[in-house]
Amino acid sequence: MALDHLNLDVPEGAIYALIGANGAGKTTAIKTMVNIHEPDSGRVEISGRGGESKDSRRLRGRDFESIGYVSENQKMPEWMTVDYLLQYLKPFYPAWDDSAAAALVRKFGLPGDRKLSQLSRGMKMKAALASSLAYHPRLLILDEPFSGLDPLVRDEFIEGLIESAEGTTILISSHDLAEIESFASHAGYLERGRMQFSEEMAALSARFREVEVTLGEPSGLPVNWPVEWLQPQTSPAVVRFIDTRFDEGTIGERVRGLFPRMTEISTRAMPLREIFVALAKEERRAA
């Protein structure tokens, strides 16, 4: 079972980062959302043109006038030139914006007369993104868009995305957490097909902390170690762990309850990448 009781609610206007280890079910979840895969049960509601919701299984033709999908796995019409790709797609979208398309081509430095097959991977992804932003979609779904891109191309891609997708709800799955962290407003963590958490980035950053406790004398880990404190590491007089429910007001008291001879406590905010690694390691350990 690739997805198991997955509940994912992407608020309108959000940039939602779907993260998870390889095989966690991110791509399956996304393909189910755009009706490439049909779920055995359950449903995905996608915001339609008029703002109404629609079961993803019923997504057809015109529903995609307001949905964009860019994936590293999607087969592109490689024989088309960039210009012809845009020219070909234009009649499909009533909201197609020629000036936006031209601006995206300029912004991404896309060679209009080159076939997609002759483009680098990064250029191909930019062409796919340009062709999906030119009609100002209400929802843009990006599946591993940065995979295999060099840092410069990645930056250009993100910059173009942020500039051109204002007001668009974006769902993005990626391993490039450092990049995602810079612009995502929400994050969801998928583990073996189940959503472990889904929240705003600010709240996520606020509740994850690396905690370092200095002890007055060497001590082992107590038996009643809290489950929300991950990856405890001990050295003779120092204990480090990751608190997944950090609360500045209570952390001192909770630590002191376990380590009465504690002399000092310090906390450090964690970037998304470290949070992800910590969770992934915990998942592997539990498995």
Partner 1 sequence: MNQASHIFAKDLRRLWPQVLVVSGLFILYGMTPPDRGGAGITALMEHGNSLAALVAIACWTLGANLVHEDGMAEESPFWLTRPYNRAGLLTAKVLFLFAFVFLPLVASGVLREARAGVSVTANLGTLIVLDLGVATWLILPALAIGAVSRNLTSFAAGVTSLAFAYYMVGRWFRWSMRTEDLALRSLVPDGPNIAAVLPMILAAIAVTGIQYAARKTRWSQVALTMAVIGSAFMMHLNGVELLSARVVNPPGFDLNRVRISFDETVPPRVAPEVDRTLRGPCPAMALKVDGLPRGMMLRQSQPVQGQADSPLAGIRDIDKATLEQTAEGYREYVCVPGPFTNARETIRLSPNFAVVAVETVATFPARRGSFVAGNAGRCEILVPFPENTQVRCDLEEPLIGSYSAGLEYPGYGVYSASFFPSNGPVRMSPVSLAKFDGVSFDRPGGWPFEEAFVRQDARFVLRTERVVGYLQRDLVYHDFVHPWQYPLLRPIPPPPGRKK
The answer to whether the CB of 189 falls within 8 A of the CB of 253 is: no
Confirm or reject binding of residue 71 to partner 1 (CB under 8 A): yes
Confirm or reject binding of residue 53 to partner 1 (CB under 8 A): no
The DSSP annotation for 34-87 comes to TTSS--SS---EEE-TTS-EEEGGG--GGGGGSEEEEETTSPP-TTSBHHHHHH
Query: What's the rounded Cα separation, in Å, for the pair 138 and 211?
Result: 41
Confirm or reject binding of residue 35 to partner 1 (CB under 8 A): yes
The Cα angle at residue 162 between residues 160 and 168, in degrees rounded to 5:
120
Of the candidates 156, 97, 96, 98, the residue with the CA atom closest to the CA atom of residue 126: 156
CB of 34 to partner 1, least distance (A): 5
Pairing of strands 262-269, 238-243: unpaired
Q: Which of 89, 103, 221, 262 binds partner 1 (CB under 8 A)?
A: 89
Nearer to partner 1, 88 or 225 (CB): 88
Confirm or reject binding of residue 28 to partner 1 (CB under 8 A): no
Question: Three-class SS of residue 188?
Answer: strand
- Binding footprint of partner 1, residue count (CB under 8 A): 25
Confirm or reject binding of residue 88 to partner 1 (CB under 8 A): yes
Confirm or reject binding of residue 115 to partner 1 (CB under 8 A): no
Confirm or reject binding of residue 225 to partner 1 (CB under 8 A): no
Question: Three-class SS of residue 19?
Answer: strand
Confirm or reject binding of residue 62 to partner 1 (CB under 8 A): yes
Residues facing residue 9 across a β-bridge:
none
CB of 244 to partner 1, least distance (A): 35
CB of 9 to partner 1, least distance (A): 21
The answer to whether the CB of 82 falls within 8 A of the CB of 111 is: yes
Nearer to partner 1, 31 or 186 (CB): 31
Confirm or reject binding of residue 60 to partner 1 (CB under 8 A): yes
Nearer to partner 1, 135 or 246 (CB): 135
Phi/psi for 49 (5° steps) reads -60, -45
C-alpha distances (whole Å) from 30 to each of 41, 46, 180 are 15, 11, 17
Confirm or reject binding of residue 74 to partner 1 (CB under 8 A): yes
CB of 33 to partner 1, least distance (A): 10
Confirm or reject binding of residue 24 to partner 1 (CB under 8 A): no
Q: For residue 116, what is the DSSP state? A: G
Confirm or reject binding of residue 61 to partner 1 (CB under 8 A): yes
Query: What's the rounded Cα separation, in Å, for the pair 209 and 58?
Result: 43
Query: What's the rounded Cα separation, in Å, for the pair 171 and 141?
Result: 5
Confirm or reject binding of residue 92 to partner 1 (CB under 8 A): yes
Q: Which of 2, 6, 67, 129 binds partner 1 (CB under 8 A)?
A: 67
Confirm or reject binding of residue 96 to partner 1 (CB under 8 A): no
Which residues of the chain form contacts with partner 1 (CB under 8 A)? 31, 34-36, 60-65, 67, 69, 71, 73-77, 79, 84, 88-89, 91-93
